[in-house]
Amino acid sequence: MVGIVLVSHSYELASGLKKMLEQIQPNVPIAVGAGDEEGEIGTSLHRIKEAIESVYSEDGVVVLFDLGSALFFTELAIEELGADKKVQIADAPLVEGAYMAVVQAGCNSPLEEVRQMAEQAKELVKIPVDE
């Protein structure tokens, strides 16, 4: 089953989201890579890498993130894990994307489908702009 990793600057935010997602799909492996090394607001390459490794299987992992530097550190973590690892980053809003990803992963869908479903969440959160 595809694992899900939540990368956020806030450990509390990611942990709360993980708790909600586990109630939706209790069998999907979900990990949190959030906060900096001191447990403060920030991101940590080490925490992200550990989170990916903790839910990794041959089915792969989809990573969702909150802000730009979280993406940067996620890319570095994936690089350190090696090219042979099946890890994909979803370009999706964290909460809505994680919700859609965990539902799709719970259906035993392949990695690419889980990531694509997460990315479809962008359509749900579009804010109409009056021109």
Tell me the CATH number at 51.
Answer: 3.40.50.510
pTM of model > 0.85: yes
Residue 35 lies in a domain: yes
62 with 105: CB under 8 angstroms?
A: yes
Residues with a known catalytic role: 9
23: tokens are 């109630």
Dist. CA 77–CA 58, nearest whole Å: 18
Residue 129 lies in a domain: no
Residuewise pLDDT in 10s, the chain (131 residues):
999 999 999 999 999 999 999 999 999 999 999 988 787 899 999 999 999 999 999 999 999 999 988 999 999 999 999 989 999 999 999 999 999 999 999 999 999 999 999 999 998 877 666 76
Q: What is residue 68's predicted lDDT score, i.e. its pLDDT?
A: 86
Residue 47 lies in a domain: yes
Residue 131 lies in a domain: no
What dihedral angle (degrees, nearest 10) is formed by the CA atoms of 3, 41, 46, 22? -20
Positive or negative, the Cα torsion across 33, 63, 107, 85? negative
Based on the structure, what is the number of domains in the chain? 1
Residue 8 lies in a domain: yes
